[in-house]
Structures are given as structure tokens and as C-alpha cells.
Structure 1
């Protein structure tokens, strides 16, 4: 299992991109889908952005270097800022879809028509597509960017989507996909949706990007029946002492804040830490918060302005997290 392939591929493809927003958008457009669109389990309800065209690649370059276009991106991202990674990714993709003139609506809420007016759901994106144009309708995309850690040592459990849990243990890949498939993609069927839809929904699909993280040292190929793209972005997870096993003495490390989780990191050299410094920072973090921390292992790129390029990434988990995660997985599997 190569945990460095996607970083190397990304850095090679986008050597000129330095703006964090542009790099994050480039990752959303260029990275492999998390789910396999042709897997039978998804019943043809998975959307994909497909291969990046030369025109879009050129547009991303312009987004970095054209002051007017770059300013427009930053102004868009500054509107109603959120610390939620999902919202951040949605805003990036919405900017792209609007620039490509295929966005009909974004974050379109559906409310109960009764006195309470509670929100029943939200269309992440309504887009134009060849499917839609032939039927004078739109396609509903439910968009998600997810990060899940495999918490299972037993082979029979590893093959279940609920064994992939979120770092805060409040979500799992299985639970998320059941919600998308059974609820969110059916939103257009609700009578209240007709009051807000600009055109009939002719198809509803899930567009899912993200990274899956495996226990450090575990070599695993997921069964095709799970519907996970074989080329998905991968990382590791481990406790702090286990980091020693991947340290070569020359690596630098950086903590990645949540809104920096999408694209492989590209950072000023001054932000790098030694393994000893990293472990000290982790000890401080875990003393205040028992949530896993995203860490990038980096190499130094020499130059006029030395910088760090991410080689691999992983979650470092606090003590007792693995036991809590195992309990969460067992509970989820019993409920399914």
C-alpha cells in the first residue's frame, strides 16, 4: 500500500500552485473519487468530475496568477466564512461550477410548508449536464468530502464500511452513505421541494471526495464489493510513539489545521518541526483535547524560499482513542 503516491502525483502535476484556496480546489478537481462510480452497490448514483481537461488545468493556473480572478476567488471564500471543512469544500466547488457556467443553484434549502417552517433538507448543487439538457431538467449533486480511519483488526469487519470512522467517532463511511442514498438523494421527491426547484430533477447523485486512513503498517486491499475506488487517497493513523517507525531522521513534520486537510501541504520551511518537537506539541494538544490530530510528514525543497512538501499524512490518535473507536464500530455493526 503506497501512502506517498498521491502526494507525489499532486506535487508533480501542480508545481506552480501556492495559493491555499487554489491548491485545495485543484485537489477537489484532480484527486480520484473516493467511491467507484461503476460499483454495483451504488446503482449508478455516484457522480464524478472525470478527468481534468487541459482547459480546466489552464483555468486553475490563471486562478493562481490572474489578479482579478484570484481576487474573485478570495472574495467568494470570505463570504460567510465557516470553520467546517465540508462548507469550505462546498464553497470551492461552487465557485468552480459557477465559473464553468454549469451551476443552477447551490445550498438550496427545502422547508416544511406548515407553520413551523422547519428545514427538511438542502440541495448541495443543482447542475446542468447533458442528461439534464435533454430533459429540460437539472441534476442534483449531494457533495461530501470525508476523512475516515479504519478501526478494525478482524478481516471480516475490515470489509464493512462502518469500520471506517470519523476522527471524532460521530460518523462512519457506512452511516454517511446510507444517509446520502436513502435520504438526501431523495429530497426532490418531497412535495415541499417542488416550491423551490427551478426545474425538474432528472437525476440525483453523490459526489464524494476524501481520504481513508489505515493503521500504520497494515497492508490491505478493500474488496471491490465495498464500492471504494481502488485508487483512493490514503493515509495512516497511529499513536504518537509509533511515529518513530516512519521517521528517517531527515523528515520534517507539520500539524495541519482542519481547513488544510484537502490538498497535500506546501508550507514555509519555518513551519516544520522535528519528530521530538512534534511529539511535544502532540502531548500538549492531547492534554487539552482528546481528538486525533492530522500530521503531515514533509521533505524540504531547497530554493530561494525553502519550503516543505508533504510526503505522507496521517492522524495521530490520543491514548484510549483506539479502544473507543473499536466500541463505536462494534455498536454500529450490530445496529446495521
Structure 2
């Protein structure tokens, strides 16, 4: 994970260091904390958040995660009670849990509304204090964008699957509106003494056409999590020989790569199917559907090999038009 400041931790922890975690919510939290950022820093306002200031905090967090994985009852009980249905809210809840229970930075306040004359100007996602005493304002976003630029390398070419969101517009909103909230005059009246250092905590996956190679825009960290997308017409040829089994990924499983113990997964209603069956199941979807390829490892675990979107045949043309608006 990238970070700013003299005591910032170095690059993201390799996947192998936390891949042994078994509990889905714990794996998702580990991915949120340790996966590569989608973006480089965008100074002077768009500095990157890090959950850790020191190597000691990072190592302590890994140990804490493995202890949580061994005894996740409290985490799962509170997560179930929260009745979360949206991916962004799920990521927000996990990060809040870490800030309240983990061994690094501490939560001061979350979802702090800023109002003027009865009108809401915005909401600060997290106010955080590090162990060294720095006071940070974090804006969190978890995004999944598909590259629709037909060879172009522009941030505007990364679009949401439902064509209601675009990476360049999201970044502009974060830089120009969300991050400056804690520096506004109105914020000083809320009782959270600053000054606050604004930082963006932007994670997610970027998906690329399976048949094209394109360079990343300068704003994007090349270490980001990557997937593919393919049209329904091209799906059978793409899927042939790609994996032993497939499954549609529900939205709350869009964070960490998935892993399931064979047998226990089936008991829990998690079904792995052949590519042709998957094709039939997504044929009547109105928009893109995220799916994942799995293989069965030597320990009888279904392990995610890759993930991507199957999109309707007319989607690429619509996506390119949306990218150029």
C-alpha cells in the first residue's frame, strides 16, 4: 500500500503473506488494508492513506488478522447485525472495525456530516488519529471499473459496469469536494480539533478487454488488482480451458480473491458450474455480470484464478460513448 509522510510504510504486502486467511470477512479486511492502491498520489490534495505508519504496525496488523481469523465470532456477529447490502458500505464497515479494534491508527469519528444553513455540504468518511499523533481525514472508495477506451489510456475510459460512474469524474469529486471538507471553515465548529491531513483510500479492481493490451494512464498505480471483460459472443472461446469451474460473484464478494473449502462451500449453497451453464445463467442479465474462475487445489479448496465481467454484446459501444461524454 502506498503512503505519505516520513514514517510511511513501503509497498503493499504480497498476497502470499495473508492468503492463508480463511474467513471471508477477514480476508476482505486484509485485502482492503494490504492491496495496492488504484491510484498514485495526486498532490497537493490527493495524498494516499495508509493503515500503518511503521513496519511494527504492519506486522502487528498481520498477527491481529490471523488471530481474528482463528476467532471471528464477534466480527461475524456484528457484521450480520449490520445487515449490509452495498459494497461500499461493507468496505466502510470493515475499515471502521479495524480502526476500532486493530493495533494501528484509531478512529476518532466516522461519517461526519458538514452542514451550512441547514444544507448538507458533504460527509467526511473517517477522522483518524495515528499512534504518532497525526490527525487524518480519510475518504474511502472501493471501485470496479471496466476499461472501454479501445486502446486509449485515459482515466475517462474506465467506466462503471452500469455506465453510471467514471473514474475521472470520481477522482475529480474526491479531490475537489470530499478531501477539502475537513479544511472548510464550517468544519472547525464540529468539535473535532485539527488540523486534519486529507488522504484518499481508494481500492478496487480494474478490468480490461480480454483481447486487447493497453497502457495505464499516469494516474493509475500499475500494481493495481486486474481482471478482464468479455462479450457474451466471445465468452465460449475465452472460457474454454480457462478454469475447472465458474461462479457468479455476488456484489459483497467483489473485494478479496475468493477461496472456499470443497464440500463446505456446497453445503453453504455456493455452487461451481461449467462455462456453458454459467453462460445460460447470465444470458438474460441486462448488464455486465462479474464471474470468477476457480480451480481445485491439492488441499481440496476452490481457489479463485481470475475474475472478470461477461457483458452484453451491445455494451462495449455504449461504454465507449459514455467514456467520451
Normalization by structure 2: what TM-score? Answer: 0.85
Moved more, 190-199 or 170-179: 190-199
Structure 1: distance between partners of 2:220 and 2:24: 28
Structure 2: distance between partners of 1:23 and 1:87: 16
Pairing partner for 1:144 from 122, 141, 144:
141
User: By how many angstroms is 1:72 displaced?
Assistant: 2.3
2:194 aligned partner: 200
Q: Which structure 2 residues correspond to residues 9-28 of structure 1 after superposition, within 5 A?
A: 10=15, 12-28=16-32
**Which structure dedicates a bigger proportion of its chain to helix?**
1
Q: Which structure 2 residues correspond to residues 141-290 of structure 1 after superposition, within 5 A?
A: 141-153=138-150, 155=151, 158-223=152-217, 226-243=218-235, 244-248=237-241, 251-269=244-262, 270=266, 271-284=271-284, 286=285, 290=286
Relative contact order higher in (CA < 8 Å, ≥ 6 apart): 1
C-alpha contact 2:114 2:187 (8 A) present in aligned 1: yes
Is there any run of 5+ residues in structure 2 with no aligned partner, and where? 1-13
The CA deviation string for residues 245-304 of structure 1, in whole angstroms up to 9 with x for no partner, is: 2431652101100000001011354421101111111114x2xxx12111101111244x
1:297 aligned partner: 293
Structure 2: distance between partners of 1:249 and 1:33: 27
Is there any run of 5+ residues in structure 1 with no aligned partner, and where? 1-8, 332-336
SS at 1:218's partner residue? coil
Structure 1: distance between partners of 2:298 and 2:131: 47
Structure 1: distance between partners of 2:59 and 2:34: 12
User: By how many angstroms is 1:76 displaced?
Assistant: 3.1
- Structure 1 residues 326 and 230: CA distance shift in structure 2, 3 A: same
User: By how many angstroms is 1:197 displaced?
Assistant: 4.1
- Structure 1 residues 237 and 197: CA distance shift in structure 2, 3 A: farther
SS at 2:95's partner residue? helix
Moved more, 184-193 or 167-176: 184-193
1:316 aligned partner: 310
User: By how many angstroms is 1:220 displaced?
Assistant: 2.3
Structure 2: distance between partners of 1:249 and 1:179: 38
1:334 aligned partner: none
1:63 aligned partner: 68
SS at 2:48's partner residue? coil
Structure 2: distance between partners of 1:307 and 1:276: 22
Q: Which structure 2 residues correspond to residues 68-83 of structure 1 after superposition, within 5 A?
A: 70-83=72-85
| 1:87 and 2:89 matched | yes
What root-mean-square deviation, in Å, do the aligned CA atoms of Structure 1 and Structure 2 show? 2.2
Structure 2: distance between partners of 1:129 and 1:323: 46
